[in-house]
């Protein structure tokens, strides 16, 4: 009997577990869940092991009993699991970015005829697969790609979009608060662009999505490396970004400029602070001026604007307690937003992904737009969980059935990987709509 160990059973793992459980019954596979907090996964009807992934001995002893390992833990722990998989000769699947440490063991993984498939979720994952399908098709037809722009957003479905930020948490809140901490690097019409963190949310572009209207995109980290990953060394424009509703970035930038997204130090006496006091601590001392006017003057915001309304709605000018015993500015902001931006019980989330590719073929310029929109079904089967979990689950299914026989530390960028995954995803109504512009 083939055996699978899934390490980590958080929100993004639920759809993956459900899919693989059904396949396991049909194919006589054994699936076990390893999770530190077993109480949180009592509802899962599968064998379970309590595991602290940082416990080297326990992790090694756990992994050695299985054929295939799926790591759904936070990205910083993947390499701990990867080292054990390499030592024990186990195949590994993750939805996270390939780390430099993971890349460094590529030769050893290949020599042991192992497959370590990474970046096989949503973003990274579906973005690679759908982009490479377009790129390969264009090149196959003799086209030369000049411009490549790709963006993804985890948002709230329009009918549940009922706060002035037009945003709710559908993914790890900490990642949202700390988004953009690294500078952005990309190509714009042959010119290199380097955008430091304090300007990233001022540097937005606009896109339209049929049936959903306007969105804005801020640049993601290092877009330049994807020229080589995607085989686009001669491209003139190369940009990957994150999607938000219009107005979000301008308002979020105020928090960046104020310093409330800083995670490098703890605030003194935060356990005794109100939000009014915390905001005041980041503003100049100006007697006889209200905190609201001081905030607006310092950040260049009109008090009668929709932008100011976003901050007022968060209650940051009130005597509302910060509510932490200790914490950094970013942790304080996250604590507040987890209350204000939470998905309600009946809310549904929305995934939007769009590629815009400009290319020449037979001397003529063309542009193609490919868009995915997908709405979650409920609080468990969210759009985020489905689009992260299903691509990875399908890849594992293919591997277990002997239909995926590659080795090495890989991304899903080759046709024999992405084509069957994209085809299967269409059965779940996860599909891209392409249009020539």
Confidence of residue 39 (pLDDT cuts 50, 70, 90): confident
pLDDT in tens, 340-363: 999 998 999 999 999 999 999 999
Asked if residue 103 has pLDDT above 90, the reply is yes
- Give mean pLDDT, residues 355-373: 97
Tokens describing residue 413: 């960028």
Q: Mention every residue, 6+ apart, whose C-beta is less than 8 A from residue 311.
A: 251, 254, 295, 301, 317
pLDDT in tens, 295-337: 999 999 999 999 999 999 999 999 999 999 999 999 999 999 9
pTM (predicted TM-score): 0.93
Q: Mention every residue, 6+ apart, whose C-beta is less than 8 A from residue 293.
A: 303
Cis peptide before 124 (omega within 30 of 0): yes
Asked if residue 203 has pLDDT above 90, the reply is yes
Instruction: Reduce the DSSP state of residue 410 to 3 states and report it.
Output: strand
- Give mean pLDDT, residues 262-278: 97
CA 286 to mean position of chain CA atoms: 41
Asked if residue 1 has pLDDT above 90, the reply is no
Instruction: Reduce the DSSP state of residue 157 to 3 states and report it.
Output: coil
Residue 364: CB atoms within 10 Å: 8
Q: Which domains does the chain have, with CATH numbers?
A: 3-121+383-428 (3.40.50.720), 126-247+345-375 (3.30.360.10), 252-340 (1.10.1870)
**CA 260/CA 372 separation, integer angstroms:** 33
More confident residue, 119 or 41: 119
**CA 77/CA 381 separation, integer angstroms:** 25
pLDDT the model gives residue 180: 81
Average pLDDT, the chain: 95
pLDDT the model gives residue 220: 94
pLDDT the model gives residue 42: 81
pLDDT the model gives residue 38: 84
Kindly state the helix (H) or strand (E) to which residue 169 belongs, with its residue range. none
pLDDT the model gives residue 181: 86
Confidence of residue 380 (pLDDT cuts 50, 70, 90): confident
pLDDT the model gives residue 379: 77
Residue 168 vs residues 44, 162, 165, 220: alpha-carbon distances, Å? 27, 9, 8, 20
What percent of the chain stands above pLDDT 90?
Answer: 88
- The lowest-confidence range among 2-6, 8-12, 395-399 is 8-12
pLDDT the model gives residue 139: 97
């Amino acid at each position: 009997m083939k055996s699978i160990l899934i390490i980590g059973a958080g929100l993004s793992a639920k759809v993956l577990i459900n899919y693989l459980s059904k396949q396991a019954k049909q194919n006589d596979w054994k699936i076990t869940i390893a999770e530190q907090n077993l109480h949180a996964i009592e509802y899962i009807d599968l064998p379970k092991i309590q595991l602290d992934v940082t416990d080297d001995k326990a992790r090694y002893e756990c992994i050695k009993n299985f054929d295939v390992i799926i790591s759904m833990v936070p990205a910083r722990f993947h390499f701990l699991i990867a080292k054990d998989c390499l030592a024990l000769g186990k195949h590994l699947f993750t939805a996270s970015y390939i780390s430099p440490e993971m890349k460094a063991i590529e030769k050893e993984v290949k020599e042991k005829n192992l497959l370590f498939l990474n970046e096989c979720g949503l973003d990274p994952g579906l973005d690679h697969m759908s982009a490479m399908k377009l790129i390969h098709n264009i090149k196959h037809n003799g086209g030369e790609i000049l411009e490549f722009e790709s963006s993804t957003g985890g948002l709230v479905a329009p009918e549940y979009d009922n706060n002035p930020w037009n945003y709710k948490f559908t993914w790890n809140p900490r990642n949202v608060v700390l988004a953009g901490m690294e500078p952005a690097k990309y190509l714009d019409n042959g010119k290199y662009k380097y955008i430091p963190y304090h300007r990233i949310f001022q540097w937005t572009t606009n896109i339209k999505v049929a049936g959903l209207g306007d969105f804005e995109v801020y640049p993601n980290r290092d877009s330049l490396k994807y020229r080589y990953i995607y085989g686009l060394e001669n491209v003139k424009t190369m940009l990957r970004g994150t999607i938000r509703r219009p107005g979000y970035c301008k308002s979020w930038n105020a928090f960046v400029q104020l310093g409330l997204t800083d995670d490098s130090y703890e605030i003194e006496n935060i356990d005794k602070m109100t939000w009014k006091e915390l905001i005041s601590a980041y503003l100049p001392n100006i007697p006889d001026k209200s905190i609201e006017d001081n905030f607006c003057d310092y950040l260049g915001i009109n008090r009668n604007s929709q932008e100011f309304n976003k901050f007022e709605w968060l209650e940051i000018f009130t005597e509302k307690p910060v509510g932490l015993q200790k914490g950094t500015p970013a942790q304080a902001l996250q604590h507040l937003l987890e209350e204000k931006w939470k998905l309600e019980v009946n809310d549904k989330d929305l995934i939007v992904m769009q590629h815009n590719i400009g290319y020449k073929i037979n001397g003529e310029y063309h542009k193609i737009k490919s868009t995915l929109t997908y709405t979650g079904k409920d609080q468990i089967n969210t759009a985020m969980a489905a689009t992260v979990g299903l691509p990875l689950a399908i890849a594992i299914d293919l591997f277990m059935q002997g239909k995926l026989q590659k080795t090495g530390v890989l991304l899903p960028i080759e046709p024999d990987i992405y084509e069957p995954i994209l085809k299967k995803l269409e059965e779940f109504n996860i599909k891209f709509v392409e249009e020539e512009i």
